[in-house]
Structure 1
């Protein structure tokens, strides 16, 4: 049993996200990373919002060209459903236009071609109608004259002409903004089967009829067959279609939707299929520099590759199936095991199993479209581990945004917050400093700490027992009935590095207790314990000793 626990701990360490400032970075020379950085600089928008727009564009361009096979041998589409929750003034439309410029150009070209084709169709149909009337008159005249041979010839000519009626041209357009699921299915059926529901202001969608039939959107995401029964124009049997959702909406719109239809959307698994981001606000923080706007070379290269991928989709008769390399497959299974553990009782995803069950598939799809977009050869079908790791790290941050903005705080996080609040109240009172209340430098004068910078402060520490918490702690963690919840909360604080067991007692510290290395979880990444400082608010420092050796390190608050 002990070996199993050690393996589980090692697995959780392996798959924890690795990033510097809140979001992972793809490799430096990738088209997407370069374009995102240029958009952030030139448009002065948040990194995460730029990335979501870029992924929406890539998903639209690649979904019709590829599918992806998971290590379990299940083949799934590469389409993504993306939701960005941002206030007005965050330049949502400008960011979307930056990454969808090529797609908009292609879609507009399809509209123009369709308009010209419809004009030609009207002319040809008018000529056909005139000819039909003439043949009808010939047929009627022959029938009245009882000339059987002439009647038969006229009938055959009329029948052949009716069969040759010019049909209206189908449109190659694939972008949709304000539509119902049923109309969307119809357009995917008669037009381009690879579509994108795209909007930078999704209020009309979340408050209108477009989400009236969530099951159809779920089926499209799954890659299944959509059946629509219609009395007037016949039934629709849409098979093999692909749909990307790249939606942006204001927080108030999402709040109203969640209040009205959130339970239904969660119950059907609709929201669980989304990668969700609520970007940090940039409004009021931008610096305007006078002078000419720079030529956006990265945008041009990004959109040129988008158009190339779209053209490959048109020219291909069937979708290419991507697979994972062996190292990537091993990492995929590690991620799967991590999610399974966290869906257990008192786990991070215990109350969000719907979301967790779709998370790894979203990671799979995300890694597939990135590989297809960035590869130098269309013959390269193996997704490498580095791409999968980036997709996993990116999806984990999206998962945090999903939990905070759509799912509600998990019971485990609530319990850990309450426990941390209780333990902080047990700390010895310290002097107040900006942004750091109840914290004082508890280090005793010692030669070991002579080199400690003045702006670093160690958090206060206190010992406690389970009996202390069960008798005096938060009500939800008291008594035998809540023993499992208490144990889970302590384990979470331990993973974050703030609690450590010493014999029959526990030590709690405001700063991370580790003397070296990093905690298994970083506060503020996958989850946030608001009572504790974020990982990014702490600094690791270790004093230098003789001969350059380093010992006695630890984590400190950084104060001004």
Structure 2
């Protein structure tokens, strides 16, 4: 895990860490939806988890086994394309679920016929037993037939539910136990979930996501509901205001219980007005390849009897990857020290290495059809999870726990954008900023430290002209360089400076 400081805005997303099969699909969806790439990639990760969670588990080196289920939470403003992205990436999951439900209908017809025949035979055995008892005849033979008949009682086929939208925790447990043990809770407007009854069972939800055996007693029911090996992925998206309301209402419950530590967060930065609305038709093969792989693996998770397979395969580490993984855990442990990278997100740190192991295992299966984690895939997973660790830190670390340059950057960034509107230009002269900045930042050293924080994250450009005599800032460094706008900014600054001197 990279040893870096928290950013005020998101780090540049490490899109190239994804293998081409996934990366191409992510970019295909982005071209069609114009949604933020980190959001699309996070949803793609959850779809891969849905796909492989019923097939395997990962064996941690010298540690426990972990399910391949994940939980993701995207914090995105309205209009960010939450629904279209989910619909496009989850299409093969939805189609597979629909196909399984059609097969279920056929099975139910066979089941009803078999059950009817079985009941008729059962009634006749009951009559034969009553006659034998009434007449004082030998009942042993009849009883043996009744016992044998009970053993062949037709079983109702489970209804394949792979997707839950807004379940209670009781309904979710019941569905995983009685219907299908591999499923996902999916909501692109998750405010109803986090403020509903599901949120009241976060501890139980944690167990389901961890793949732990769950036993729930119900009032009025003689036997508990048992889910021996649940596989549950959570795919949640909501607007920032809704999350804030949740924390205002519940305090730190979700973090204290460990739900957020188990969740990969993304809160992508969206620059209004920057989307390209021109019609785009990307090559369909990239998304088709992703869909085909999802469908193929989902079919592997179902046995010849049409039921979810019960024996899952173990994903293991090769020796080199195991050594690298142990080193990663040591880095995380070191980062827990006072002043360390993980010092103020210890809850996430406890799960960070497992997130890496899960993602590496998921990608090996999905991309390489392999059940051995190699070092190259481990590095990919580490890079991606590092980004999510940075997001967690950026969103949930308390401001007073941040080093001074990062607190200053948090103050400076909105001020710069406000100051930019007054100058009507994306380019600002650094000396002009130094002269007008908030009083706490009118020290050259302190201002430059705050600027460097933003530059390091790729959110601000800091350039030099005239052999180092003039420094200018670019508030939109991702946009193409605009010489005309820069010349106007320089002339405006020089004019203001001359007017001030006079």
Q: Same fold (TM over 0.5)?
A: yes
Residues in 1 aligned to 2:171 and 2:412: alpha-carbon distance in whole angstroms: 56
- The answer to whether the aligner puts 1:202 opposite 2:125 as a matched pair is no
Alpha-carbon contact 1:84-1:276 (below 8 Å) kept: yes
Relative to structure 1, is the Cα distance of residues 327 and 162 closer, same or farther in structure 2, using a 3 angstrom cutoff?
closer
Q: Which residue of 2 aligns with 1:191?
A: 179
Deviation of the 1:52 alpha carbon: 1.3
Relative to structure 1, is the Cα distance of residues 554 and 187 closer, same or farther in structure 2, using a 3 angstrom cutoff?
farther
Deviation of the 1:509 alpha carbon: 5.8
Relative to structure 1, is the Cα distance of residues 389 and 294 closer, same or farther in structure 2, using a 3 angstrom cutoff?
closer
Alpha-carbon contact 2:42-2:72 (below 8 Å) kept: yes
Alpha-carbon contact 1:46-1:282 (below 8 Å) kept: no
Q: 344, 353, 358: which is aligned to 2:337?
A: 344
Relative to structure 1, is the Cα distance of residues 271 and 207 closer, same or farther in structure 2, using a 3 angstrom cutoff?
same
After superposing the two structures, state which structure 1 stretch, 221-230 or 89-98, moved more.
221-230
Relative to structure 1, is the Cα distance of residues 147 and 555 closer, same or farther in structure 2, using a 3 angstrom cutoff?
farther
Q: 117, 120, 123: which is aligned to 1:133?
A: 123
Matches within 5 A, 1:124-523: 124-144=114-134, 146-149=135-138, 151-230=139-218, 231-281=220-270, 285-290=274-279, 293=281, 296-314=284-302, 318-325=311-318, 328-329=321-322, 331-375=324-368, 377-378=369-370, 381-385=372-376, 387-405=377-395, 407-413=396-402, 415-417=404-406, 434=425, 439-440=430-431, 508=445, 510-511=447-448, 523=453
Q: 79, 95, 100: which is aligned to 1:105?
A: 95
Deviation of the 1:27 alpha carbon: 5.4
Alpha-carbon contact 2:344-2:401 (below 8 Å) kept: no
3-state SS, counterpart of residue 411 of structure 1: helix
Alpha-carbon contact 2:6-2:402 (below 8 Å) kept: no
Can you list the C-alpha shifts for 1:76-132, whole angstroms capped at 9, x where unaligned? 222211111223322212111211111111111122222332233223323333333
- The answer to whether the aligner puts 1:62 opposite 2:20 as a matched pair is no
Relative to structure 1, is the Cα distance of residues 59 and 117 closer, same or farther in structure 2, using a 3 angstrom cutoff?
same
Can you list the C-alpha shifts for 1:517-553, whole angstroms capped at 9, x where unaligned? xx9xx735xxxxxxx8954413467999xxxxxxx99
3-state SS, counterpart of residue 64 of structure 1: coil
Residues in 1 aligned to 2:103 and 2:323: alpha-carbon distance in whole angstroms: 48
Residues in 1 aligned to 2:162 and 2:449: alpha-carbon distance in whole angstroms: 51
Q: 12, 21, 25: which is aligned to 1:35?
A: 25
Deviation of the 1:171 alpha carbon: 2.9
After superposing the two structures, state which structure 1 stretch, 168-177 or 29-38, moved more.
168-177
3-state SS, counterpart of residue 212 of structure 2: coil
Alpha-carbon contact 1:342-1:349 (below 8 Å) kept: yes
Relative to structure 1, is the Cα distance of residues 168 and 329 closer, same or farther in structure 2, using a 3 angstrom cutoff?
closer
Residues in 2 aligned to 1:399 and 1:27: alpha-carbon distance in whole angstroms: 15
- The answer to whether the aligner puts 1:44 opposite 2:34 as a matched pair is yes
Alpha-carbon contact 2:344-2:397 (below 8 Å) kept: no
3-state SS, counterpart of residue 523 of structure 1: helix
After superposing the two structures, state which structure 1 stretch, 59-68 or 393-402, moved more.
393-402
Deviation of the 1:381 alpha carbon: 0.9
Can you list the C-alpha shifts for 1:409-433, whole angstroms capped at 9, x where unaligned? 3423264455679999xxxxx9996
Deviation of the 1:335 alpha carbon: 3.9
3-state SS, counterpart of residue 108 of structure 1: helix
- Structure 2: gaps (5+ residues): 304-308, 414-418, 475-484, 487-502
Alpha-carbon contact 1:71-1:324 (below 8 Å) kept: yes
Relative to the length of structure 2, the TM-score reads 0.77
Deviation of the 1:71 alpha carbon: 4.2
3-state SS, counterpart of residue 198 of structure 1: strand
Relative to structure 1, is the Cα distance of residues 382 and 28 closer, same or farther in structure 2, using a 3 angstrom cutoff?
closer
Relative to structure 1, is the Cα distance of residues 25 and 290 closer, same or farther in structure 2, using a 3 angstrom cutoff?
closer
Bigger Rg over Cα? 1
Q: Which residue of 1 aligns with 2:473?
A: 557
Alpha-carbon contact 1:188-1:241 (below 8 Å) kept: yes
3-state SS, counterpart of residue 445 of structure 2: strand
3-state SS, counterpart of residue 139 of structure 1: helix
Matches within 5 A, 1:537-552: 537-539=460-462
Alpha-carbon contact 2:57-2:315 (below 8 Å) kept: yes
Residues in 2 aligned to 1:347 and 1:523: alpha-carbon distance in whole angstroms: 17
Can you list the C-alpha shifts for 1:425-455, whole angstroms capped at 9, x where unaligned? xxxxx999656778328xxxxxxxxxxxxxx
Deviation of the 1:554 alpha carbon: 12
Alpha-carbon contact 1:328-1:383 (below 8 Å) kept: yes
Residues in 1 aligned to 2:212 and 2:293: alpha-carbon distance in whole angstroms: 28
Alpha-carbon contact 1:460-1:509 (below 8 Å) kept: no
